[in-house]
Homo-oligomer: A and B are copies of this chain.
Amino acid sequence: MTKKVSGGYNGKILRVDLSANTIATEVIDELFCRKYLGGAGFVTYFLWKELQSGIDPLSPDNKLVFALGPLTGGPLPGGGRNCVGAKSPLTGGIAKSEVGGFWGAELKRAGFDAVIIEGISPKPVYLWVHDGEVTIRDAGHLWGKNTKETQASIRAELEDDKVRVASIGPGGENLVKYACIMNGLYDAVGRGGLGAVMGSKKLKAVVVKGHKAPKIADPERVKALRQWLQANMQLVQNFREFGTGAAMEVYETVGNLPVRNFRDGLFPGVKNIDAPTIKNTIRIRMDACFGCPIRCKKVVQVEEPYAVDPAYGGPEYETLAALGSNCGIDNLKAIAKGNELCNAYSLDTISAGSVIAFAMECFEKGLLSSQDTNGIELRFGNDEVIPKLIELIARREGIGDFLAEGVARMAQKIGRGSEEFGIQVKGLEAGMHEPRLKPGLGLGFMVNPHGADHECNLHDTLYVGGRPLEELKPLGILEPVPVDDIGPRKVGLFRLVQLVKIVFDSLVVCEFFPYNPEQLADATAAVTGWDTGVLEQLRVAERILTMARLFNIREGFSAADDRLPRRFFQSTNDGALADKPLDPAKMEKAKSYYYTLMGWDATTGIPTPEKLEELDLI
């Protein structure tokens, strides 16, 4: 509790122009670091400040920003992550996505806090960053290779099997609109098509290695936080035992499990694909990100009928639902294979699964014919199509080329009412949770600048089911707010949780750690030496979220884009939500109140000049 004003903390940015073949480093000062924190904050800042409006996301004008936070690579668990962002080829708005693994920690040790990639290389290259040294290396021999081959080749040629590789596979190279970037082989910068941006730049990989341990201002304070966590591991017991996906059976019962493109509710096969079943069948071990005591990552192995390489880890909940229940599939091995292929080819499993589910419904409705699908029987439950389609999508072959465009563009082309069941917001396919069960999540899907991100669910699990009310008390919520409430109380809480999540994403620390807002500020102070606090971090988060809003407005987005697909205003065919459509009037009212709380115009959603000034944004 000593008061220190400044810890001498600052940051270093690596800026690489692939068109000009130039490399530069820039120091960012302490005030900048404090105003934008890191991770999502840095990414949003650079995209907002440096991109021109209206640019083609796959052109040299786009920039791909990798950013770390003050906790990255430090002794506090949860700090193995990094954030990546760009203008999204999928949504046309701002994209950013956080990812686990070891890459972020390693970049920090290599001496950088952010990497900004500009321009387009005339030929495939990869970036090699080691202990402050940076080289652009030829990647011609790697182009076309999957992520495992890529990582192995690079490690071989650099003669170091510990270098950390963030790379793309054919999905990114072929500009699949929802291609991801893989940290190692099973941690994905998943959402928004950032792998396509990387592919457009002919950047196969960013490879990092470093030896400089991050400076810690107050090691004793860090130790106290570690000890607290150690003493409270029971709070993450479920993640430790099962990883994600432990509660799928309950989800199905209460109506949180998407089934057949969010059309149905009942899915008796859920028991075949959930995390406990995985543990008892195909799981061979659990793995962890950098310095993490939770170890929530499944590693699975399958021999037949689909050979699934454990090098690619195993399916998380979002994947289990997206490639599983949401496609009507309860064949765990098929899902595991789909997961492996997405990781190999660098495809976002959520978007891939959503695209397939959408195509299945179109096929069953006769909006896509066998001719359209190259003879593939695109029916719900047909698990054989999963690996087949992922291959086609990654290579943009046949129907895959169409599916590579994402649900929004597909629906636009198909027309005939298909938009109504195209489950996306702003072009981003929705995460695998049910807004009809949790209208707070629905609001998140609506107003999130990046679209219907699965991370929006964290806004809601915090106060619905996922965590006990006790953990909400630090947020000032002392009495239960009903799950189906979407009144002002829920909206106020939603906004608060959303802002706290931006703090997580900017620090960039894993949300699975049950840090409360005080502890996030405490951790920041311990590492940076800043006398920071919850109110400062909330203000930073508000600044970041408003910048993202401004980015989208500059690209032509309006309040009309903050809307859910029509399906959510209809009931599911069966299950717990058979009589529970969302009320559009209530959702619009909630949206308007959210705008008000954010200091945005209640109707247009445009930040008021006063709010911009208050947040130092003008």
Contacts and interface: CB of A to CB of B under 8 A. Distances in A.
Interface string A6-50: 000000000000000000000000010011000000000000000
Contacts of A535: 474-476, 496, 517, 534, 538
B616 A596 contact: no
Contact of A597 (B2, B35, B533, B599): B599
A364 interface: no
A588 interface: no
Interface stretch (A149-157, A264-272, A295-303, A606-614): A606-614
Contacts of A593: 610
Contacts of A398: none
Interface stretch (A76-84, A88-96, A418-426, A484-492): A484-492
A241 interface: no
A594 to B, nearest CB: 10
A111 to B, nearest CB: 25
Given A224-B1, A476-B539, A519-B1, A489 B613 contact: yes
A533 to B, nearest CB: 4
Contacts of A496: 535
A616 B493 CA distance: 12
Contact of A599 (B516, B596, B611): B596
A150 B473 CA distance: 46
B517 A616 contact: no
A492 B542 CA distance: 12
A492 B608 CA distance: 13
Nearest to A32: B478
A1 B231 CA distance: 10
A540 B470 contact: no
A573 to B, nearest CB: 34
Nearest to A225: B1
A288 B564 CA distance: 62
Interface in A517-546: 517-519, 521-522, 530-540
Interface in A565-602: 593, 596-597, 599
| Copies of this protein in the complex | 2
A31 B487 CA distance: 22
A451 to B, nearest CB: 26
A224 B521 CA distance: 18
A478 B533 CA distance: 12
A232 interface: yes
B478 A31 contact: yes
Interface string A257-294: 00000000000000000000000000000000000000
Nearest to A496: B535
Interface string A221-244: 000110010011000000000000
A159 interface: no
A479 interface: yes
B611 A488 contact: yes
Interface string A451-489: 000000000000000000010011110110000000111
A51 interface: no
A3 interface: yes
A250 interface: no
A414 interface: no
A599 B593 CA distance: 10
Contacts of A610: 487-488, 491, 593, 596
A590 to B, nearest CB: 10
A534 B533 contact: yes
A491 B614 contact: yes
Interface string A183-207: 0000000000000000000000000
A616 B490 CA distance: 11
Interface string A374-410: 0000000000000000000000000000000000000
Contacts of A307: none
Nearest to A593: B610
Contacts of A231: 2
Nearest to A31: B478
A5 interface: yes
Given A488-B613, A488-B614, A535-B496, A5 B470 contact: yes
Contacts of A611: 488
Nearest to A468: B5
A537 B533 CA distance: 14
Given A489-B613, A614-B489, A31 B473 contact: no
A532 B488 contact: no
Contacts of A224: 1
Contacts of A470: 3, 5, 531
A31 to B, nearest CB: 6
B533 A516 contact: yes
Contacts of A475: 533, 535-536, 539
Contacts of A614: 488-489, 491-492
A531 B489 contact: no
B517 A35 contact: no
Contact of A518 (B476, B521, B539): B521
Contact of A31 (B474, B479, B492): B479
Nearest to A487: B613
Given A475-B536, A489-B613, 5 more contacts: A35-B478, A474-B531, A476-B539, A488-B613, A596-B599
8 contacts: A5-B473, A473-B532, A473-B533, A476-B540, A491-B610, A496-B535, A517-B533, A517-B534
Interface of A: 1-3, 5, 31, 34-35, 224-225, 228, 231-232, 470, 473-476, 478-479, 487-489, 491-492, 496, 516-519, 521-522, 530-540, 593, 596-597, 599, 608-611, 613-614, 616
